[in-house]
Homo-oligomer: A and B are copies of this chain.
Amino acid sequence: MQTTFRAGILGSTGYTGATLTGILARHPNIEIAFLASQQYAGQKFSSIYSEYRGLVDIECSNVDDEAIVNLTKNDVDIVFFATPNGIAHKHIPNLYEKGIHSIDLSADYRFRDLSTYETWYGFKREDQAINDKAIYGLVEFKREQIKAIEGTAIVGNPGCYTTSAILALSPLLKNKKVAAGSIIVDGKSGISGAGRKAATNLLFSEINESCSPYNLAGKHRHGPELEMFFSQISGQEINLTFSPHLVPMSVGLLTTCYASLDSSETELRKLYEDTYANEEFVTVLEADLYPQTKWALGTNQAFIQVNYDERLKRAIITCAIDNLMKGAAGQAVQNMNLILGLDETTALK
């Protein structure tokens, strides 16, 4: 049985790519085949992220279109795309043909309905067949499907807000009768979620000591992602309100999720405890202990609290994660471990 695999990362020097690189560098079954970076090609990874000196001194390469086309299964077993939206889908069909697994941390393989890409992401897609092969990699609810993949895998790794909200609300949507239109996801994210791009509005002096909403009332792309997943899991069309906010911290993400239904705190807590009883990366907190995003920092863990407003018959579920870990790179490695037949928690504890 194969125990060492070669992984390549495209977009390795963004915050997500770098976090992924860090995990893979410490992964006992992984050998890094290449780290690609358009911006820093020719420079050592550890010269961009000095905290990795001695651990990841690999030189970043400019893996251009041609180079990707020429990759073979002799070079690499699995390729991660930590690239901007709209890039992965140009390369993954080719990798798939060669039997190279792909995990896409961008949005290119999250949706089953191709029109979503055009409506929300601004690029046309017509590759329905290959898109149908992709699995939405929210492990806790797709584990069996991911393990059942025969041959080559394509995983669309979920977004950060969506991961948190899916863990928060899926037990309800799967098992309970939630009032139509009652779902609200109020998200609070650290700034690294906006990526490592030189933009005035992300400067320290702009962000520090301020809190602010953005893209309210159906203008954020994680809205349709949530609706797709929740419709699937509940077996009915779900529409919801998603409200993202920026909070002055580097890392961390909290969602406060509201849903109207007839239940009780006791009943709901039991449902969540049962749902996640065997999950290594989901902690359902005891009553009165509220999740703090810092608990999740640097880990793949989600912390969930379950509240129920008796008077208004409304569940309030809060979920804290590290947006770069469980919300991106950590979950990607969870998916990889499953695909490669490794213990799901390898390099993540």
Interface residues of A (CB under 8 A from B): 15, 50-51, 53-54, 181, 184, 186, 188, 190-192, 196-200, 202-214, 216-218, 239-241, 243, 245, 247-252, 254, 256, 258, 260, 265, 283, 285, 289-299, 303, 305, 307-314, 316, 318, 320
Considering the complex, give the chain B residue whose CB is closest to the CB of A53. B283
Say whether B318 contacts A218, CB under 8 Å: no
Say whether A290 contacts B203, CB under 8 Å: no
CA–CA, A211 and B303, complex, Å: 12
Q: Which residues of B contact A211 (CB under 8 A)?
A: 188, 190, 247, 249, 252, 254, 292-293, 320
Q: Which residues of B contact A297 (CB under 8 A)?
A: 51, 209
Say whether B311 contacts A218, CB under 8 Å: yes
Number of copies: 4
Q: A209-B294, A254-B213, A316-B241 are in contact. Are A204 and B248 (CB under 8 A)?
A: yes
Which of B213, B239, B252, B256 touches A311 (beta carbons < 8 Å)? B239
Q: A202-B203, A203-B198, A309-B241 are in contact. Are A290 and B54 (CB under 8 A)?
A: no
Q: A212-B292, A290-B212, A305-B213 are in contact. Are A204 and B250 (CB under 8 A)?
A: yes
Given contact pairs A202-B205, A216-B316, A258-B258, a sample of 10 additional A-B residue pairs in the complex whose CB atoms are under 8 Å apart: A15-B205, A50-B289, A51-B297, A51-B299, A188-B247, A191-B208, A211-B247, A212-B291, A217-B307, A245-B256
Which of B196, B248, B292 touches A203 (beta carbons < 8 Å)? B196
Q: Which residues of B contact A285 (CB under 8 A)?
A: 50
